A and B are shown apart, each in its own frame.
Chain A
Amino acid sequence: MTTISKENKITNKDLRQIMWRSLPMEFGWNYERQMHLAFAYMMAPLMKKLYHKNQKEYTESLERQMEFFNCTPQLVPFIGGVVASMEEKNSEDKDFDVSTISAIKTALMGPLSGIGDSLFLGTLRVLAVGVAASLSMKGSILGPILFLLIYNIPAYLVRYFGVKAGYSMGTSYLDKIQKSGLMDKFKEAAGILGVMVIGAMTQNMVVVKVVAKFGTGKTATSLQSVLDSILPGVLSLLVLYIFYVLNKKKINVLWQLLGATIIGVLLTVWGVLGV
């Protein structure tokens, strides 16, 4: 455990600010990068503080916060704390590789969503409804009140302690890694975890379903079942690859979005794809 010393640039006040700014995490949600705007909103003041001396570093740091993000809202302050520690390191150390920040952020958000969703939405919420519903059914106003308390008291505790835990864990490990000269290995490890999680999320979250069949009448075989028997989600992989190539070619993301929407609608109207 590292105590936050005076020479550290990030103070408890900064961490509390991250906690409060994590509140609108599900506001501004969109299909493309999901919670990225709220994540950037959460981190923006700290970026100003860490990089205010260098406009280029500052704008780059803001753009970094705008990458794809999605996680159970209550666990986001923890990730915010970890990212804060890495950004702090990056602002002090010119050799720090910023791609590590993206890798760690990605490696954390997937698994923490799994834990957070089952903890908060699967367990705590169900518990709160269970306790509150019987009171509500009798028409008692205590029902809704109890529902909110049971759900939100643990939720806010996790937010409050999460940001501090994330930050102190981040700094203590980063220090150790740096002292032992393992930064390159750390970068590779972070990269491996990051791309594995992206691979799994691509399979899970990018959904492409073919409804077209070949053959007629009773002998018709659905193309999707054939694809699934080869590699489930192979089309998600294809879609990701297309976007990857388009990004490499620096095609404006807005065109990509527009193109994807038009193609998606056309292929559905023609009966190739479906929901």
Chain B
Amino acid sequence: MSNLGTALLIGLVGFIGPLDFAIGSNMLNRPIILGPLVGLVLGNLTQGIIIGASLELVFMGAISVGAYLPPDVIVGGVLGTAFAITLGKGVGAAIAIAMPIAMLSLAIGNLTSVIFPAIAHIGDRYAKEGKPGGITASMWGIGLIECTRRGILCFLGYYAGSAGMKALLNVIPQNIIDGLQVAANMLPAIGFAILLEMIINKTILPYFFLGFLLSAYLKVPVLGVALFGLIIVIVKFHSDKKQTVLTTSTSTKEDTNYDDDF
């Protein structure tokens, strides 16, 4: 097969990898799965399986937990496996190639993701009109741009070779890439601000700061903060209860029950 044809197929693997997010986040986009697919494209399934598994172990920690966005394992893994097989250099080469490419792809991803919230706001407009189809379309719009971006990167990366990928990295100034990341890290605050406006009132405002301070000074994880909150709620409403004498034994029991679960 021609180089162009192979590159297109590699691009296709990079495109369908992130499609896994549309069908249930089944871990189909991990190197241990995409590696064999790349191997299949390049006619060496066994090497694909082996290199994929090695990359899986290397990228074990690269998974999005909470707000942390890891290097792009999909593009890094696909191209790392592909170059390692075609160059015949094995696992070591795959790891050496995959890491910088994964970082590069994350940076480019930050660049393109700037427009995503704007697409999401098209969804808001349709929600206002009672047309959920527009919400679905916005979701797919963002998702497919992500798939396409990764597909194109894998295609171009394979076609241009690793030297070409490095040249691409040098086109965008580093401080712009960093700046977009800085801005992106602030954006969840918009979502939180909107949520706060919905829920907050003067009586419960101190509890917002309590949550913040528990996390800031004591490094309590979010789950821990919620459990502390649960105790506060239980204690607070039980002492309220003692002051209002009118409660019956059954409602006290129910009170405890709902506190346990929410």
Which residues of A pack against B, CB within 8 Å? 23-34, 36-38, 40-41, 44-45, 47-48, 55, 58-59, 62-63, 65-68, 73-74, 99, 102-104, 106-107, 110-111, 113-115, 117, 121, 125-126, 128-129, 132-133, 136-141, 143-144, 147-148, 151-152, 155-156, 169, 173, 176-177, 180, 182, 185-186, 188-209, 231-233, 236-237, 239-240, 243-244, 246-248, 253-254, 256-257, 260-269, 273-275
Nearest chain A CB to B178 CB, angstrom units: 5
Q: Which of B159-211 touch A at CB < 8 Å?
A: 175-176, 178-201, 203-205, 207-211
B25 within 8 A of A: yes
Shortest CB distance A160–B (Å) = 12
A-B contacts, 23 of them at CB < 8 A, read: A24-B143, A30-B113, A31-B117, A32-B120, A37-B135, A41-B132, A73-B24, A74-B25, A104-B262, A114-B223, A152-B27, A155-B26, A169-B261, A177-B258, A193-B262, A196-B208, A199-B209, A203-B212, A243-B192, A247-B190, A253-B190, A260-B190, A265-B179
Contacting pair B187 A32 (CB below 8 A): yes
A173 contacts B257, C-beta separation under 8 Å: yes
Also in contact, A193 and B226, with CB within 8 A (given A129-B60, A132-B32, A269-B175) = yes
8 A-B pairs with least C-beta separation? A264-B183, A199-B211, A68-B191, A136-B53, A265-B179, A28-B139, A114-B223, A268-B179
- List, in ascending order, chain A residues with CB within 8 A of B130's CB: 55, 58-59, 62
Digitize B123-148: 1 where CB-to-A-CB distance is under 8 Å, 0 elsewhere: 11001111010011011111100000
A144 to B210, CA, bound (A): 45
Interface check B215, CB cutoff 8 A: yes
* Residue B220 is within 8 A (CB to CB) of chain A in the complex: yes
On whether the beta carbons of B67 and A102 are closer than 8 Å, the reply is no
How many A-B contacts are there with CB distance less than 8 Å? 403
Closest CB of chain B to A80's CB: distance in Å?
14
A268 in contact with B199 given A31-B116, A260-B186, A263-B183 (CB within 8 Å): no
CB of A63 within 8 A of CB of B127, answer: yes
The answer to whether A194 and B199 touch (CB under 8 A), given A48-B132, A129-B57, A269-B179, is yes
Q: Which of A36, A133, A236 contacts B189 (CB 8 A)?
A: A236
Chain A proximity of B254: nearest CB distance (Å) = 5
A121 adjacent to B56 (CB under 8 Å): no
- The residue that B211 contacts in the complex, of A148, A197, A254, A263, with Cβ under 8 A, is A197
Q: Does B225 contact A (CB under 8 A)?
A: yes
- Could you tell me if A239 and B25 are in contact, using CB atoms closer than 8 angstroms? no
| Contact among A45, A141, A173 for B45, CB-based, below 8 A | A141
Instruction: Decide if B199 touches A103 in the complex (CB within 8 Å).
Output: yes
> Closest CB-CB distance, A174 to chain B, in whole Å?
9
- Residues on B with C-beta less than 8 A from A192 are 204, 207, 229, 232-233, 236
Q: Is the CB of B255 within 8 A of A180?
A: yes
Report whether A32 and B258 are in contact in the complex, using a CB–CB cutoff of 8 Å.
no
